Amino acid sequence: PLENIFLVTTKNQIFSLRPYISNLKKENIISEPFGRDTAPAICLSALILEKRFGDATMVILPVDHIIKNTRAFFKNLVFAGKVAEAGPNLLTIGVKPRYPSIGYGYMETGKKLNGYYGIKRFIEKPKKAKAEALYKNKKYLWNSGIFIWKTSSILSMMKKYMPNMYYGMEDISRFDRKTGYSIMLEKEYSCFNPISIDYAIMEPVSKNERDKIFCIKSDFDWVDIGSWSSIEEIYDKDSDGNIILSNSNMIDVKNSIIVGDRDHKIGVIGLKGVIIVQTKSGTLVCNKNRAQEVKDLVRTFRAFE
């Protein structure tokens, strides 16, 4: 039901999201003062949900995913929920690699259990040679970033492996979300270094408490559109292998992605394997094989603001 759907976002994105979240109640929107990656967001959300629902089962769904076979997707989630509720278990959904991606994290599956697998270890975005080796090994799956657990399970792990974050968030969650909450939240968030839930919780648990962390192999089609190169899995290419989402004129351009405003003309000559993205606030030009470095580039811009 709609009342059980929560959105976590930063406060500077809420205005642009309003047309898409008009059905959500205000109290179901968890606003971060600024992004600190996924661990703080999940910790705060778990505390808020536990305060409201008790020991509830959480499903963490990133917004930059495309899932095509929704029936199989929901079936996997229901099964994962049952495993999560059977004990203090942390569940994630693994995806069979379709190619040797350097843009996704991987996980090595362990012993097969009753419809799910143990997890031996997580591997963050690998170099090309490593990705090719992982792709050939059937034990490795892409880490989808979809997580399922009870609030008590994730909070106990936050308390153990990230105690400063846990206790800081716990203090905030005691506040009424109207009286002094925003001030306290911003103060607490400024103390945290950005860290993903993978680094903060999933990796240490997979090393130290393997009897509490599991994965389910997905039965649905999944695409993470977190990078520009992932557009190739969504749109059709022309006869030269290009994806053109812009007002462009090109000569001898192959295997490239061109994105821009329709009222802005883009001319490209003699390039292969590039990404060009034009917006009102800036333009990106990069090699397709280095699209994952865009985040690093953004950080350099922010450093000079």
Mean pLDDT, to the nearest integer, of 230-244?
Answer: 93
Q: Which amino acid is at 52?
A: R
Mean pLDDT, to the nearest integer, of 202-230?
Answer: 93
| CB of 62 closer than 8 Å to CB of 147 | no
pLDDT range class, residue 188, cuts 50, 70, 90: confident
User: Is the alpha carbon torsion for 239, 242, 246, 249 positive or negative?
Assistant: negative
State residue 183's pLDDT score: 83
**DSSP string of 23-56, one letter each residue:** TS-GGGEEEESS---HHHHHHHHHHHHHHHHSSP
Indicate if the pLDDT at residue 175 is higher than 80: no
Q: Rounded to whole angstroms, what are the CA distances from 255 to 46, 108, 196, 276, 278?
A: 43, 32, 33, 12, 18
Indicate if the pLDDT at residue 180 is higher than 90: no
pLDDT range class, residue 15, cuts 50, 70, 90: confident
State residue 118's pLDDT score: 97
User: What whole-number distance in Å separates Cα of residue 173 and Cα of residue 39?
Assistant: 15
Indicate if the pLDDT at residue 176 is higher than 80: no
User: What whole-number distance in Å separates Cα of residue 19 and Cα of residue 79?
Assistant: 33
State residue 303's pLDDT score: 67
Q: Measuring CA to CA, which residue among 101, 126, 131, 96 is closest to residue 221? A: 96
pLDDT range class, residue 216, cuts 50, 70, 90: very high
Mean pLDDT, to the nearest integer, of 129-148?
Answer: 97
Indicate if the pLDDT at residue 304 is higher than 80: no
Indicate if the pLDDT at residue 215 is higher than 80: yes
Indicate if the pLDDT at residue 283 is higher than 70: yes
State residue 197's pLDDT score: 97
Mean pLDDT, to the nearest integer, of 127-143?
Answer: 95
Indicate if the pLDDT at residue 177 is higher than 70: no
Mean pLDDT, to the nearest integer, of 45-66?
Answer: 95
State residue 61's pLDDT score: 97
Q: Measuring CA to CA, which residue among 215, 226, 42 is closest to residue 121? A: 215
User: What whole-number distance in Å separates Cα of residue 107 and Cα of residue 190?
Assistant: 31
pLDDT range class, residue 201, cuts 50, 70, 90: very high
State residue 110's pLDDT score: 95
Q: Measuring CA to CA, which residue among 211, 234, 207, 235 is closest to residue 223? A: 234
State residue 66's pLDDT score: 94
State residue 87's pLDDT score: 95
pLDDT range class, residue 179, cuts 50, 70, 90: low
What 3-state DSSP class applies to 111? strand
State residue 72's pLDDT score: 97
State residue 102's pLDDT score: 87
**b/e 138-160 (16+ beta carbons within 10 angstroms → b):** eebbbbbbbbbbbbebbbebbee
Indicate if the pLDDT at residue 302 is higher than 80: no
Mean pLDDT, to the nearest integer, of 283-290?
Answer: 92
Which CATH class, in words, describes the domain spanning 2-224?
Answer: alpha beta
Q: What is the mean pLDDT of the chain?
A: 93
User: What whole-number distance in Å separates Cα of residue 221 and Cα of residue 65?
Assistant: 10
State residue 305's pLDDT score: 63
Give ranges for CATH 3.90.550.10 in the chain: 2-224
Q: What percent of the chain has pLDDT over 70?
A: 97
Question: Any idea which of 20-29, 62-71, 293-302 has the lowest mean pLDDT?
Answer: 293-302
Q: Residue 90 has what DSSP assignment?
A: E
Who contacts 136 (Cβ-Cβ below 8 Å, separation ≥6)? none
Q: Residue 164 has what DSSP assignment?
A: H
